[in-house]
A and B are shown apart, each in its own frame.
Chain A
Amino acid sequence: MAPIVLEGLRKVYPGKQPVVALEGLDLTIDDGELVAFVGPSGCGKSTVLRCVAGLEKLSAGRVIIGGREVQELPPGRRDLAMVFQSYALYPHLSVYNNLAFPLKERSVPRSERDLEVRRIAEMLELTPLLRRRPGQLSGGQRQRVAMGRALVREPMAFLLDEPLSNLDAKLRTQMRAEIAEIHRRLAITSIYVTHDQVEAMTLGQRIVVMRDGRLQQQGSPAEVYENPVNLFVAGFLGTPSMNLLTGRVSQGELTAGPLRLIVPGAPDGDMILGVRPEGLIPATGHDDGLCLEVVVSHVEALGNENLVHVRVSGSDEAAKALVLRSPPRFSPRSGEHVLVQVDPSQLLLFDLRTEERVPITGPVIASGDRHTVA
Chain B
Amino acid sequence: MTSTSTPLAGTPAPPRTRPSFLRRLWWSDTLAGWAFISPTVLLIGLFGLVPVVWAFVLSFEHNDLISPGRWVGLDNYRKLLHDPQFANSVRNTVVYTLVFVPVCVVGALVVAAALNRRVRGITFYRVAVFVPVVTSTVATATMFGWLLDPDFGLVNAALGKVGVASQGFFRDPHEALMSIVVMTVWGWLGFGVIIYLAALQSVSADLLEAAAMDGCTRWRAFWRVEVPLLAPATLFLVIWLTINALQLFDEIFVTTKGGPVGSTTVVVYYLYVQAFQFFNGGYASAIAYVLFLAILAVTTVQLAVGRRFSYGGR
Does chain B have a CB within 8 A of A117? no
The size of the chain A interface, using a CB distance under 8 A, is: 25
Which B residues touch A102, using CB under 8 A? 214-215
Does chain B have a CB within 8 A of A84? yes
Q: For the complex, give the distance between the alpha carbons of A106 and B216 in Å.
A: 9
A106 lies within 8 A of B207 (CB)? no
Does chain B have a CB within 8 A of A77? yes
Question: Given B213, B225, B313, which contacts A81 in the complex, CB threshold below 8 Å?
Answer: B213
- Cβ-Cβ contact count across A and B, 8 Å cutoff: 58
Q: For the complex, give the distance between the alpha carbons of A54 and B220 in Å.
A: 18
Q: For the complex, give the distance between the alpha carbons of A135 and B61 in Å.
A: 54
Residue in B204, B209, B215 whose Cβ sees the most chain A Cβ within 10 Å: B215
B214 lies within 8 A of A74 (CB)? no
Which A residues touch B210, using CB under 8 A? 82, 84, 88-90, 149
**Interface positions of B from 199 to 234, Cβ below 8 Å from A:** 204, 206-207, 209-217, 220, 225, 228-229, 231
B212 lies within 8 A of A92 (CB)? no
Residue in B207, B209, B313 whose Cβ sees the most chain A Cβ within 10 Å: B209
Q: For the complex, give the distance between the alpha carbons of A93 and B207 in Å.
A: 12
Q: For the complex, give the distance between the alpha carbons of A247 and B302 in Å.
A: 78
Shortest Cβ distance from residue A94 to the other chain B in the assembled complex, whole angstroms: 8
Q: For the complex, give the distance between the alpha carbons of A105 and B216 in Å.
A: 7
B209 lies within 8 A of A88 (CB)? yes
B212 lies within 8 A of A75 (CB)? yes
Q: For the complex, give the distance between the alpha carbons of A345 and B206 in Å.
A: 48
Residue in B212, B217, B229, B310 whose Cβ sees the most chain A Cβ within 10 Å: B212
A75 lies within 8 A of B207 (CB)? no
A86 lies within 8 A of B206 (CB)? yes
Does chain B have a CB within 8 A of A327? no
Does chain B have a CB within 8 A of A91? yes
Does chain A have a CB within 8 A of B308? no
Q: For the complex, give the distance between the alpha carbons of A222 and B168 in Å.
A: 86
Shortest Cβ distance from residue A99 to the other chain B in the assembled complex, whole angstroms: 11
Q: For the complex, give the distance between the alpha carbons of A80 and B313 in Å.
A: 28
Where chain B touches its partner, the secondary structure class is: helix
Does chain B have a CB within 8 A of A76? yes
**Whose C-beta in chain B lies nearest to the C-beta of A105?**
B215
The size of the chain B interface, using a CB distance under 8 A, is: 20
Shortest Cβ distance from residue B120 to the other chain A in the assembled complex, whole angstroms: 15
Shortest Cβ distance from residue A19 to the other chain B in the assembled complex, whole angstroms: 18
Known A76-B212, A81-B213, A102-B214; judge A92-B206 contact (CB<8 A): no
Shortest Cβ distance from residue A156 to the other chain B in the assembled complex, whole angstroms: 13
Q: For the complex, give the distance between the alpha carbons of A106 and B314 in Å.
A: 18
A88 lies within 8 A of B204 (CB)? yes
Known A88-B204, A91-B229, A97-B314; judge A77-B209 contact (CB<8 A): no
A76 lies within 8 A of B216 (CB)? yes
Which A residues touch B313, using CB under 8 A? 92
Does chain B have a CB within 8 A of A225? no
Which B residues touch A319, using CB under 8 A? none
**Whose C-beta in chain B lies nearest to the C-beta of A92?**
B228
Which A residues touch B314, using CB under 8 A? 93, 97
Which B residues touch A86, using CB under 8 A? 204, 206
| A–B complex contacts, Cβ < 8 Å, 6 sampled | A53-B213, A76-B216, A77-B215, A84-B210, A102-B215, A105-B215
